[in-house]
């Protein structure tokens, strides 16, 4: 019977293959379509999702595979009790990729009963692979990583993103950004939730928050943060739900302060 080590080996191999493909085609011309007003998809997104999904279903035919592009018609279903579910974003940062902006990733997470069990996120252009298995710590290219030691918001560098409904909810999102900006050293908005989470895990940023992410965006990265010693929750400090509407990740030391800042916005989104 397969175990987490078997699952991790297949995940690592599938993500590595996708990363190689992204390196080969990055910077070229891509056929771009619109899933929404500002939500893009390319032929590369679809091809890599098909490739990775086929690898997973061949190796683990009883597992559910929930991919971003296959779920584009609506919210993905919650897996039933005891069901293993893979959450796949074959190209997190499609807008960056389509514009030739060199910041995007492949993200693959495995969860059971709502709890992420393993995650792999590959940054193909930096040749960096972040990985974690529940209870075993987090790594970057095989070396252990830890969150930052920053303990005060005034000394913290944060990351965020703005959801695809930002034109309709600009005041809410910009209000939260302003509230955080007034208390911190700086904010970055890079365009890949999966990498933002991994950068919290390795200490490049100290905390990250965003609304309305898909489970494929966060299933891998949230586990990597936790296994690197950080904390992940909703904006009120409740248990993080990969199918939920709010993601706050931090080095743990900043979590209470971030909840104080984001709490007033928690019910507005």
pLDDT 10s digits, 4-49: 999 999 999 999 999 999 999 886 555 655 555 544 567 888 889 9
Which domains are assigned to the chain?
4-144 (3.30.540.10), 153-265 (3.40.190.80)
Whether the CB-CB separation of 15 and 120 falls below 8 Å is answered with yes
Q: In terms of C-beta density within 10 A (0-12 exposed, 13-18 middle, 19 or more buried), how is residue 230 classed?
A: buried
Q: Which residue is it, tokens 């929750």?
A: 233
Cβ-defined contacts of 16-19 (< 8 Å, 24+): 16/122, 16/129, 17/51, 17/52, 17/55, 18/48, 18/51, 18/52, 18/90, 18/106, 18/122, 18/124, 19/106, 19/122, 19/123, 19/124, 19/129
Q: Specify the length of the chain in residues.
A: 269
Q: How far is CA 121 from CA 70, 124, 214, in A?
A: 19, 10, 15
- Which tokens in the block code for residue 147? 């969150």
pLDDT 10s digits, 146-205: 999 999 999 999 999 987 766 777 899 999 999 999 999 999 999 999 999 999 999 999
Record the pTM.
0.94
């Amino acid at each position: 019977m397969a175990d987490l080590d078997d699952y991790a080996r297949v995940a690592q191999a599938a993500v590595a293959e996708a990363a190689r493909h992204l390196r080969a085609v990055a910077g070229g011309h891509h056929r771009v379509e619109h899933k929404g007003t500002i939500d893009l998809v390319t032929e590369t997104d679809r091809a890599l999702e098909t490739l990775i999904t086929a690898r997973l279903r061949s190796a683990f035919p009883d597992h559910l595979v929930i991919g971003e592009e296959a779920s584009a018609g609506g919210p993905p279903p919650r897996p039933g009790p005891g069901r293993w579910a893979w959450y796949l974003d074959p190209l997190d940062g499609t807008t960056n990729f389509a514009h030739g902006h060199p910041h995007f990733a492949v993200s693959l997470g495995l969860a059971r009963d709502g709890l992420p069990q393993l995650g792999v996120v590959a940054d193909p252009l930096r040749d960096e692979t972040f990985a974690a298995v529940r209870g075993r710590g987090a790594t970057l290219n095989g070396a252990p990583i830890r969150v930052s030691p920053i303990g005060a918001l005034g000394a913290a560098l944060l990351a965020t993103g703005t959801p695809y409904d930002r034109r309709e909810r600009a005041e809410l999102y910009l209000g939260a950004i302003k509230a955080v900006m007034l208390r911190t050293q700086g904010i970055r908005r890079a365009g890949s939730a999966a990498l933002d989470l991994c950068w919290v895990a390795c200490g490049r940023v100290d905390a990250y928050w965003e609304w309305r992410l898909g489970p494929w965006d966060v299933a891998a990265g949230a586990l990597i943060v936790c296994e690197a010693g950080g904390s992940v929750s909703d904006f009120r400090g409740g248990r993080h739900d990969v199918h939920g509407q709010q993601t706050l990740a931090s080095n743990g030391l900043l979590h209470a302060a971030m909840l104080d800042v984001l709490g007033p916005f928690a019910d507005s989104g």
